[in-house]
């Protein structure tokens, strides 16, 4: 009772001041005061009918509406067609609610606005703690946040706005603009990504790019003329004009540095699947990463990289018209790939490379062919064209070779 005394004193003063209006719905029930209700459920319970506003707070330099509670609602409002809670201030906070363990501000409305806050120069609404949205949320301006959790379709659209500084976690199937919550999280926490929605596509600026769906081309697929590029296929594929057409390279690079290509399929290009070639060997491409790609049924080489320091891992390269994987130059790592049914060598490198844990099967020439000063370890090469004078794995006097299975 002691904590309620300042509030009750103010209420009782208001009752004495407005006693002539008691006939219009003022009810006192123990510690509770009701206006517009005969059974107040709160210390101050105000209910309005029709289109009237139950409580409106307006301030020119202070807080329009302030509520405090230890464990309940600091401010709670409900409306069937208008504002559940309405607060307005010119220089501070339109609506301010605080609760020790409950909800600072709670608003509900059938056809209107649950909570409305307006401020000319301060905060329209201020929430110190977590904010939970159980329905849809639409943001017309810029939204900045430190943490955001989406449940179901909680965040549906930000028309013409921006999302900045968000660290998010997602449950169920939250989407924004057709992207999954995990995609939004990756984009917001890392970098802005550019969509690839049709072919041919030219990448002339460094940055991150992603496929929005399966794409087809009558010539080259993606031409890369910039360094420091990441392409995420998102599980989609690009398809060329046909394996026997003699036309088109799926992804074409000439003397580029630090290009990463991952998570998709390149197929049916008449010349090559993925190529880095500057016109002569050993080439000038550097530090490309090819990860988790399926490069299949192209007219020439599946994956041809000329230069140095490439990292090629987790790819399936099969059914191509010449070699499966060929890495010319020095210092490359080729690990954990599967090469099968290619017309020429399954996998080939030149000098000073690490070739580990790859599988080569049923290729037209060597299963695995390596150059000088390379490490060759843990590979399996079987059923390649040994009858045609080739071996499952080529020999190399200056290489370190161990734990390979190549009968």
Q: Is the pLDDT of residue 155 over 50?
A: no
Cα→Cα distances 266→129, 143, 235, 272, 294, Å? 48, 38, 11, 9, 6
Preceding omega of 282 cis (within 30 degrees of 0): yes
Q: Order of strands, edge to edge, in the sheet holding 26-29?
A: 26-29, 32-35, 44-46
In this structure, the strands spanning 32-35 and 26-29 are antiparallel
Q: What is the pLDDT of residue 292?
A: 98
pLDDT tens figures, 36-49: 677 776 667 676 66
H or E segment to which residue 186 belongs:
helix 181-189
Average the pLDDT over 140-152 and give the result.
Answer: 48
- Confidence (pTM): 0.58
Summarised one tens digit per residue, pLDDT across range 284-293 is 999 999 999 9
pLDDT of residue 261: 98
Percent pLDDT > 90 in the chain is 50
What pLDDT score was predicted for residue 66? 62
Question: For residue 146, what pLDDT is reported?
Answer: 40
Please state the φ and ψ torsions of residue 208, each to the nearest 5 degrees. Answer: -110, 135
Cβ(396)–Cβ(372) under 8 Å? Answer: yes
Domain 191-402 in CATH 3.40.228.10? no
Answer for the pair 303, 325: CB distance below 8 angstroms, yes or no.
Answer: yes
For the ranges 144-148, 174-178, 196-200, the maximum mean pLDDT occurs at: 196-200
For 388, list phi and psi in degrees, rounded to 5: -90, 10
Which of residues 85 and 313 earns the better pLDDT score? 313
Query: Do the beta carbons of residue 284 and residue 305 sit within 8 Å?
Result: no
The domain locations on the chain are 2-132, 133-190, 191-402
pLDDT tens-digit series, residues 58-117 = 566 666 566 666 666 667 776 666 666 767 666 666 666 766 666 667 666 666 666 666
Q: How confident is the model at residue 331 (pLDDT cuts 50, 70, 90)?
A: very high
pLDDT band at 386 (very low <50, low <70, confident <90, very high): confident
How many Cβ atoms sit within 10 Å of the Cβ of residue 179?
A: 18
Burial letters 344-357, b for 16+ CB under 10 A, else e? bbbbbbbbbbbbbe
Statement: residue 265 has pLDDT above 90: yes
Provide mean pLDDT across the span 194-211: 97
- Three-state helix/strand/coil letters over the chain: CHHHHHHHHHHHHHHHHCHHHHHHCEEEECCEEEECCCCCCCCEEECCCCCCCCCEEEECCCCCEEEEECCCEEEEEEECCCEEEEEEECCCEEEEEEECCCEEEEEEECCCEEEEEEECCCEEEECCCCCCCCCCEECCCEEECCCEEEECCCEEECCCCEEECCCEEEECCCEECCEEHHHHHHHHHCCCEEEECCCCEEECCCEEEEECCCEECCCCCEEECCCCEEEECCCCEEECCCCCCCCCEEEEECCCECEEEEEEEEECCCCEEEEECCCCCCCCEECCEEEEEEEECCCCCCEEEEEECCEEECCEEECCCCCCEEEEEECCEEECCEEECCCCCCEEEEECCEEECCEEECCCCCCEECCCCCEEECCEEECCCHHHCCCCECCCCCCEEECCECC
Beta bridge partners, 383, equal none
Q: Which has more pLDDT, 101 or 167?
A: 101
Spatial distance between the Cα atoms of 119 and 287, rounded to a whole number of angstroms: 54
Lowest mean pLDDT among 97-106, 149-158, 338-347: 149-158
pLDDT at 387: 81
Residue with tokens 């991150």: 208
Average pLDDT, the chain: 79
């Amino acid at each position: 009772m002691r904590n309620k005394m300042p509030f009750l004193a103010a209420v009782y003063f208001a009752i004495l001041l407005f006693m002539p209006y008691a006939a219009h719905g003022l009810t006192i029930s123990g510690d509770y005061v009701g206006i517009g209700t005969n059974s107040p459920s709160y210390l101050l319970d105000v209910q309005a009918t029709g289109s009237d506003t139950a409580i409106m707070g307006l301030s020119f330099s202070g807080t329009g509406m302030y509520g405090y509670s230890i464990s309940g609602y600091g401010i709670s409002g409900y409306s069937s067609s208008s504002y559940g809670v309405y607060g307005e201030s010119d220089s501070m906070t339109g609506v301010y609610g605080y609760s020790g363990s409950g909800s600072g501000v709670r608003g509900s409305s059938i056809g209107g606005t649950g909570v409305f806050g307006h401020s000319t120069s301060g905060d329209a609404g201020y929430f110190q703690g977590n904010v939970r949205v159980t329905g849809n949320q639409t943001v017309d301006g810029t939204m900045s946040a430190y943490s955001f959790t989406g449940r179901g379709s909680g965040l549906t659209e930000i028309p013409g706005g921006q999302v900045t500084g968000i660290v998010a976690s997602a449950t169920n199937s939250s989407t924004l603009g057709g992207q999954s919550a995990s995609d939004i999280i990756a984009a917001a926490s890392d970098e802005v990504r550019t969509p690839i929605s049709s072919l041919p596509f030219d990448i002339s600026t460094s940055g991150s790019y992603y496929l929005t769906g399966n794409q087809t081309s009558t010539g080259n697929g993606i031409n890369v003329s910039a360094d420091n590029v990441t392409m995420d296929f998102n599980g989609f594929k690009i398809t060329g004009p046909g394996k026997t057409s003699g036309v088109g390279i799926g992804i074409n690079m000439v003397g580029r540095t630090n290009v990463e290509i991952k998570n998709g399929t390149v197929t049916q290009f008449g010349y090559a699947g993925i190529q880095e070639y500057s016109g002569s060997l050993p080439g000038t491409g550097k530090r490309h990463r090819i990860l988790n790609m399926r490069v299949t049924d192209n007219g020439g080489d599946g994956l041809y990289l000329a230069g140095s320091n490439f990292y090629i891992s987790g790819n399936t390269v099969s059914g191509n018209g010449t070699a499966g994987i060929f890495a010319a130059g020095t210092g490359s790592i080729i690990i954990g790939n599967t090469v099968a049914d290619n017309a020429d060598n399954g996998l080939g490198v030149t000098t000073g490379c690490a070739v580990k844990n790859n599988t080569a099967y049923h290729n037209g020439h060597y299963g695995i062919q390596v150059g000088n000063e390379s490490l060759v370890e843990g590979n399996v090469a079987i059923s390649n064209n040994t009858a045609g004078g080739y071996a499952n794995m080529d020999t190399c006097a200056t290489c370190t070779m161990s734990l390979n299975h190549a009968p």
